[in-house]
Amino acid sequence: MSQITEHMLRTIRYSVFAAILGLAGCDVVLAANQTKLRLGMMVTLSGSSSVLGTQTRDGFQLALNQLGGRLGGREVELFLVDDELKPDIAVQRLQGLLARDQVDLVVGPIFSNILQAIHKPVIDSGRILISPNAGPSVYAGAQCSPYFSVVSYQNDQAHEVMGRYAESGNYRRVAVIMPNYQAGKDAVAGFRRAFRGEISDEIYVPMTQLDFSAELARIAANKPDAVFTFMPGGMGVALVRQYAQAGLASRIPFLSTFTFDEATLPAQQEAALGLTGSTSWSPSLDNPANKAFVKAFEAVYNSIPSAYAMQGYDTAMLIHSALQQTAGETANRDQLAAAIRKAAFTSLRGSFRFNINGYPIQDFYQVRAIKRPDGKFQTEIVDKILTDYADSYAKDCRALVPQ
């Protein structure tokens, strides 16, 4: 498969190759003159967080391979762009997808600050936007749109799991350390919603920060009962390693969301063992579809899939299910939006449906990092914390999908 480097400044066009696993679904019969589905994907493929975008891309590509390179019966031409985790670059490359490549719909991005940069331009262009990961509170309530759906979660939800865990563990004083952007603020809001104790310190750091020595010294001096953090990608790798090196792991419990997962554990390894996290999915989730996915992903990519890969896969299957309902047509945006919101596919998570605001209603789990017998690291479910859980903002959404 084509690889993305940090220096690529143009749109990468993927020609989807034929199914290699013999698992293609039943496609809609197409009219002879139906054109290829032009699909734009924007994810982060540069810098310390590139592994998150890579896993999302690979999960999506795996689903395409299994479907014979077609979604809803239409052959796919995938236009892949790297947002470089820079909003201005994201907007520039989005314009290329919309104006030059004339994509039918857009999938992306990974980070909430990028989503906030591209959300309005995509919707205003008459396309549909599907986020495989970013799920900020901004678009979950009064600013919801029938043409925007999120496959992952509303940002606050997984953090509420850790808030509940901290509350049940009788931690009375918790220090939080977050990246300084919308998802970091949503993390604190979600944690506070479920945790009744004291936030003894609230630390925000730049999204490019990889040295946490000053912040860890501040936490050590604060002496909280626990630390709660959301630190994705390379930031999470650095923080987990430095937390262990500072000797804090044995003194102050480390609670987190999306700070250690299958995307970062290969770099964190033993430093992450014993840490507690929360998520909507794990490779250990016991259902037939997930077992088949994990096996196929490891066989193709020689790595354990993370939640980002799962979400990429589910995004492709969601689009496939919607296009099956519309006979492959994308011209009628209202019809396509309604088909997407039906979520007529089998999610690797099991229970999954869209709320009125286009964000999922799903289960959430407490997880821990483990070392497998083969020496690889992954997350393992410890307990289900929330069942069929809806976010707190949907009640303010009034933008219904046109029927």
156-279 has the same fold as 12-153+286-362: yes
251's CB contacts (< 8 A; 6+ apart) are none
By the 8 A CB rule, do 314 and 131 touch? Answer: no
CB burial of residue 195 (10 Å; 0-12, 13-18, 19+): buried
Per-residue pLDDT of the chain (403 residues; tens, 9 = 90+): 334 443 333 333 443 333 333 333 334 344 333 699 999 999 999 998 999 999 999 999 999 999 999 999 999 999 999 999 999 999 999 999 999 999 999 999 999 999 999 999 999 999 999 999 999 999 999 999 999 999 999 999 989 999 999 999 999 999 999 999 999 999 999 999 999 999 999 999 999 999 999 999 999 999 999 999 999 999 999 999 999 999 999 999 999 999 999 999 999 999 999 899 999 999 999 999 999 999 999 999 999 999 999 999 999 999 999 999 999 999 999 999 999 999 999 999 999 999 999 999 999 999 999 999 999 999 999 999 999 999 999 999 997 777 6
The span from the CA of 119 to the CA of 111, in Å, is 12
Which pLDDT value is given to residue 223? Answer: 97
CATH number (3.40.470.10, 3.40.50.2300, 3.20.20.300, 3.40.50.300) of 156-279 reads: 3.40.50.2300
CATH number of 12-153+286-362: 3.40.50.2300
Domain boundaries, the chain: 12-153+286-362, 156-279
Residues 329, 334, 340, 343, CA torsion sign: negative
Which pLDDT value is given to residue 399? Answer: 77
User: 100 — alpha (psi -120 to 50), left (phi > 0) or beta?
Assistant: alpha
Other beta carbons less than 10 A from residue 388's beta carbon: 11
Tokens 């999915």 belong to 281
Which pLDDT value is given to residue 26? Answer: 38
In this prediction the pTM is 0.88
Which pLDDT value is given to residue 402? Answer: 72
Structure tokens at 324: 């099956």
